Structure 1
Amino acid sequence: MTSQNKTARYNPLELTDEELVERANRELFHTTVAYEELMRRYQRTLFNVCARYLGNERDADDVCQEVMLKVLHGLRQFEGKAKFKTWLYSITYNECITQYRKEKRKRRLLDALSLDPQEEESPELDAVQVTDRISLDRWLVHVNQVDREILVLRFVAELEFQDIADIMRMGLSATKMRYKRALEKLRSHLDNPF
């Protein structure tokens, strides 16, 4: 067995994220085994973060695909100063913001043209659904956009506060304070749903 065959054969399930990043950088674009394992590990959580942030699965799927492409093409620029998971969610966060702004502009244009997008739910329907189904998705409507992002990164992506602060370019104490206030606001809605 040649030394090339020894280095080419490995079980990606047994490697850490950092080892997979190193392998992917050596392998891409000849083979994508390490890259595919990295994406497999985070695919479900990545989709859940996007869906909760954007509010619908169609946009979430589009953003996930865009994030995966950005990771594929940007992996060589990943310096390893942060964990791969933090870097991945930083890209995800930025792509979600881009998509959110794009949808917001589209809604403003539709409003200006007096067109009513059929996919939009009424706020009254949303309030009824909140009382009917207690879920993170429905309760997140009660906090502002920045607090929603913090909660999603904390609960869905399961990131540490420092990682969230880095992704959102905020101080650690400010991130923790916003998190605490968002939880207090959600608790007050749980106590008084109307």
Structure 2
Amino acid sequence: MTHLQELESEKKAVLSDWIHEHSQMVLRTAFYFVKDQMVAEDIAQEVFLRVYKKMEEYRGESSVATWLYRVTVNTCKDYLRSWNYRKLVFSQTFLEWKTGESPEQEVIRKLNENELVRKVMALPVKYREVIVLHYFEQLKSREIAELLRLKESTVRVRIKRGIDKLKEELSGGEVHGTNGQIL
């Protein structure tokens, strides 16, 4: 086996470990951004493909999880800016408007959705990403700031404003995260 083949084999082994350890986090993060399971799965595959191609660029200055979050967030933002996504959103909106749901179907659908998650997903991206990373993924403000390349104070302000928007949407009551803590 040549030296180049050994390096490729080593890269594949490392990637396999990373996929095993972090694939659920990557998939969840992608889903929080795009709100579609199938698209999130495609994005997760794209993330690991990008990571494989750029593995040599990983300098170890942050944890692998932080690096994967960053790649996932960037891949999601690329997707959300793409023409295909905008065209899909327009098409879905048009179809929903054209066909509509009966009142009974709408009530059933709304009852089946988790209200808090739905409200978080409806937040603007800049608030949604910090809320998801802080409360759902349990990252600290410092880690989120590093991940999103923002000042820590900006992250804290966005978390606060995001929570304020959620409280407003949920009629002024206390908002509880997935772990039971008050948001």
Matched residues in 2 for 1:67 and 1:47: separation? Answer: 10
Q: What does residue 181 of structure 1 align with?
A: 161
Shift of 1:132: 5.3
Read off the aligned partner of 2:94 and give its amino acid letter: D
Give the corresponding residue for 1:64.
44
1:105 maps to what in 2? 86
Inter-CA distance 127–160: structure 2 relative to 1 (3 Å threshold): farther
Task: Give the Cα separation in 2 of the matches to 1:178 and 1:62.
Answer: 28
In structure 2, runs of 5+ residues without a counterpart are 174-183
- Aligned equivalents of 1:38 and 1:178: distance in 2? 30
AA aligned to 1:133 is E
> What is the number of residues matched between the two proteins?
163
- 1:50/1:96 contact within 8 Å kept: yes
Change over 3 Å in CA distance of 1:141–1:38 after alignment to 2:
closer
1:30 has 2:27 as partner = no
Deviation for aligned residue 1:127: 9.3
Following the alignment from structure 1 to structure 2, what is the Cα–Cα distance between the partners of residues 30 and 38?
14
**Could you tell me how far apart the structure 2 residues matched to 1:94 and 1:39 are?**
18
1:146 maps to 2:108:
no
Whole-Å separation in 2 of the counterparts to 1:87 and 1:164:
11
Describe how 1:1-194 pairs up with structure 2 within 5 A.
Answer: 28-31=7-10, 32-102=12-82, 103-107=84-88, 110=91, 116=94, 129=109, 133-191=113-171
The whole-number CA distance in structure 2 between the counterparts of 1:151 and 1:73 is 30
| 8 Å CA contact retained: 2:34, 2:40 | yes
Partner Cα separation in structure 2 for residue 128 and residue 168 of structure 1: 37
The answer as to whether partners of 2:35 and 2:121 remain within 8 angstroms in 1 is no
Do the aligned residues in 2 keep the contact of 1:130 with 1:138 (CA within 8 Å)? no
SS at match of 1:116: helix
Moved more, 170-179 or 124-133: 124-133
The gaps in structure 1 that reach 5 residues or longer are: 1-25
Normalized against structure 2, the TM-score is what? 0.73
Which residue number corresponds to residue 14 of structure 1? Answer: none
> C-alpha root-mean-square deviation of aligned residues, in Å?
3.3
* Contact persistence 1:90–1:167 (CA under 8 A): yes
1:137-159 Cα offsets, whole Å, 9 max, x none, are 31214421210111122233332
Query: TM-score, normalised to structure 1's length?
Result: 0.69
1:59, distance to aligned residue in structure 2 (A): 0.9
**Match of 2:180?**
none
Alpha-carbon contact 1:50-1:64 (below 8 Å) kept: yes
For residues 141 and 78 of structure 2, the distance between their equivalents in structure 1, rounded to whole angstroms, comes to 23
Give the CA deviation at 1:84.
1.4
Task: Assess if the C-alpha contact under 8 Å between 1:49 and 1:156 holds in 2.
Answer: no
